[in-house]
């Protein structure tokens, strides 16, 4: 496969997964901000949302202070933000169109239909007011589009290098999103004046579980009240949880190994992926908290970024 084609497939999956994650972040932050609060806490919640997707610094270059309307506009619609939901869907469709013949008709239709609906929503949206209905429709579109693309790819694509590069992009992006979300909640979201384990802390953790659609799974696995260390265990070390870091890396290693067998050669990405997976397999949640959750997540994000760079150097367009 041409490196350009592999690059398009990899980034197609990353952009669509990122759009879904952003939609979930905006939804959960809107719920948190709907609680009775001070203006300072509203700001902290949206600051947390921006920080969790790595957009805080770029936002601050454009705005003097953080307001809900400005944060939503930046995360969802802002044309100069390359990771806004609109830009992610646009970029995903651009990459898909470049490799149209590598996709099945069903997968392409999922992407193109979602993009056309995005265009319709943008045309219907007023440029001069904050439209809650249009926002809700766009967030729903981003989440549904991701599910449609994921499902059609899984059900219709051959298990070959085109499929494997798409899956790599999905799981590298998902691992980064899960890690950042967990880190931001643990270190930023709860105000200094609130008590860990208090009602606000409980509601925020529950909202985080809802943001990644794992609240029911949490109740099935632990049959306990919401506790931060159990949430961390679920999102980091539980293999059966599809958004957990260890599950993401189990899939990453599997697809990297499939590429290595197909091309007859292993490289730095295979070795690094296995190293990260082995560390996760040999870690307990007590060890994670003993060393510091923030430090663990920071190290993981750095490792995940390194893996992305190694995949690019080994297989993609540099």
Which residues, at least 6 apart from 165, have a Cβ–Cβ distance to it below 8 Å? 1, 6, 9, 10, 13, 259, 315
Backbone φ/ψ region at 292: left (φ over 0), alpha (ψ -120 to 50), beta: left
Same domain flag for 40 and 106:
yes
CB contact at 8 A, 217 and 241? yes
Same domain flag for 176 and 130:
no
Where a domain ends, among 156, 183, 204?
156
CB contact at 8 A, 107 and 156? yes
Q: Where are the alpha helices (DSSP H) in the chain?
A: 3-33, 39-52, 56-62, 68-76, 85-98, 105-124, 132-156, 161-184, 199-211, 215-222, 228-237, 245-263, 268-281, 285-291, 293-315
Same domain flag for 167 and 267:
yes
Where a domain ends, among 156, 188, 204?
156
Instruction: Record the tokens describing residue 299, joined without a space.
Output: 């190290």
Same domain flag for 131 and 167:
no
- Residue 200's pLDDT band, with cuts at 50, 70 and 90, is low
pLDDT tens for each residue of 20-73: 999 998 988 887 777 655 555 555 778 888 888 888 889 999 998 988 889 999
CA angle 33, 17, 69 (to 5 degrees): 30
> Residue 258 has what pLDDT?
97
The pTM (predicted TM-score) of the whole model is 0.90
Same domain flag for 132 and 203:
no
Instruction: Record the tokens describing residue 220, joined without a space.
Output: 């099935």
> Residue 194 has what pLDDT?
43
Same domain flag for 209 and 310:
yes
Same domain flag for 152 and 163:
no
Same domain flag for 100 and 178:
no
pLDDT tens for each residue of 145-170: 999 999 999 999 999 999 999 999 99
Q: What's the domain count of the chain?
A: 2
| Domain membership of residue 252 as a residue range | 159-318
Same domain flag for 309 and 178:
yes
Radius of gyration of the chain (CA): 20
- Residue 196's pLDDT band, with cuts at 50, 70 and 90, is very low
Which residues, at least 6 apart from 50, have a Cβ–Cβ distance to it below 8 Å? 56, 59, 66, 71, 74, 75
Where a domain ends, among 123, 156, 189?
156
Dihedral sign of CA atoms 113, 117, 123, 127 in order: negative
pLDDT tens for each residue of 54-64: 888 899 999 98
Same domain flag for 124 and 195:
no
């Amino acid at each position: 496969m041409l490196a350009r084609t592999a690059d398009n497939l990899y980034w197609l999956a990353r952009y669509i997964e990122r759009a879904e994650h952003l939609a979930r972040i905006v939804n959960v932050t809107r719920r948190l901000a709907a609680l009775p609060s001070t203006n300072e806490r509203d700001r902290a919640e949206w600051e947390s949302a921006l920080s969790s997707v790595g957009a805080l610094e770029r936002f601050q270059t454009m705005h003097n202070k953080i307001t809900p309307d400005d944060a939503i506009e930046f995360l969802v619609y802002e044309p100069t933000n390359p990771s806004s939901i609109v830009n992610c869907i646009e970029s995903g469709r651009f990459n898909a169109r470049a490799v149209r013949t590598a996709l099945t008709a069903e997968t392409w239709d999922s992407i193109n239909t979602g993009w056309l609906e995005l265009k319709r929503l943008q045309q219907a949206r007023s440029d001069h007011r904050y439209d809650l209905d249009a926002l809700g429709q766009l967030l729903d579109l981003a989440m549904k589009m991701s599910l449609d693309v994921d499902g059609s790819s899984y059900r219709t694509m051959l298990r070959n290098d085109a499929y494997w590069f798409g899956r790599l992009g999905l799981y590298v992006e998902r691992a980064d999103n899960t890690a950042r979300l967990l880190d931001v909640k643990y270190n930023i979201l709860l105000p200094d004046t609130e008590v860990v384990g208090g009602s606000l802390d409980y509601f925020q953790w529950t909202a985080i579980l809802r943001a990644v659609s794992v609240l029911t799974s949490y109740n099935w696995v632990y049959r306990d009240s919401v506790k931060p260390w159990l949430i961390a265990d679920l999102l980091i070390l539980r293999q059966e949880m599809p958004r957990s870091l260890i599950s993401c890396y189990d899939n990453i290693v599997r697809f990297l190994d499939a590429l290595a067998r197909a091309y007859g050669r292993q490289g730095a990405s295979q070795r690094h992926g296995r190293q990260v997976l082995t560390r996760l397999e040999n870690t307990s949640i007590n060890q994670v908290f003993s060393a510091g959750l923030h430090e663990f997540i920071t190290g993981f994000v750095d490792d995940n970024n390194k893996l992305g760079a190694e995949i690019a150097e080994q297989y993609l367009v540099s």
